[in-house]
Amino acid sequence: MIREVLREGLRLVSKNWLYIFLLWGTNILFSLVLTIPIYALLKDNLSHSILSSKLALQVDYYWLLQFLNYNENLINKLPILLFSIVGLNILMQKLYQGGLIAVFSNPKKNHISDFFYAGVKYWYRFVKISIISISLLILIFFLDSSLY
């Protein structure tokens, strides 16, 4: 039974490989948006420094403190960027979930237009379920932290 399910799932995925690249491309794009600001800060501070070769071997905590203090305004904005990208990624994944469920449940309708139509059609339902589950998870975390 499990072999048949895995075999059928691999067949469906191999027929619809375009959607894998859509998912991976979105994740790569969001990860680049998150890493480019940190990379730019580090490149700006270490590109003309002799200290950069030393940091490859061991961490210099004085440099780290200086880096954090010098870039405090930009580093304080990174959590806002992180949370906004996570929120946008959750919304996009809900769109993709609806489309993937529709495409995999009806293999004859595997066009990209059917994918996005079903994604929009089911998006609101999946977002409601996600909001309920995230709010319950936050409530559990607050209850757990208040007990200790």
pLDDT of residue 142: 92
pLDDT of residue 57: 79
pLDDT of residue 96: 92
> Which alpha helices (H) appear in the chain, and where do they start and end?
2-15, 17-46, 51-55, 61-70, 72-105, 112-147
Q: CA-to-CA distance for 61 and 6, rounded, in angstroms?
A: 50
pLDDT of residue 107: 77
pLDDT tens digits for 127-148?
999 999 999 999 999 999 888 7
Q: Are 34 and 82 in contact (CB under 8 A)?
A: yes
Q: How many CB atoms lie within 10 A of CB 94?
A: 20
pLDDT of residue 33: 93
pLDDT tens digits for 34-62?
999 999 988 888 887 777 777 777 887 88
Residue ranges covered by each domain of the chain: 2-147
pLDDT of residue 92: 93
pLDDT of residue 131: 94
pLDDT tens digits for 99-132?
888 888 887 887 888 888 989 999 999 999 999 9
Q: CA-to-CA distance for 141 and 59, rounded, in angstroms?
A: 34
Spatial CB neighbours of 122, under 8 Å, sequence gap ≥ 6: 97, 98, 101, 102
pLDDT tens digits for 2-40?
999 899 888 888 888 888 899 999 999 999 999 999 999
pLDDT of residue 67: 87
Arithmetic mean of pLDDT, 69-74? 90
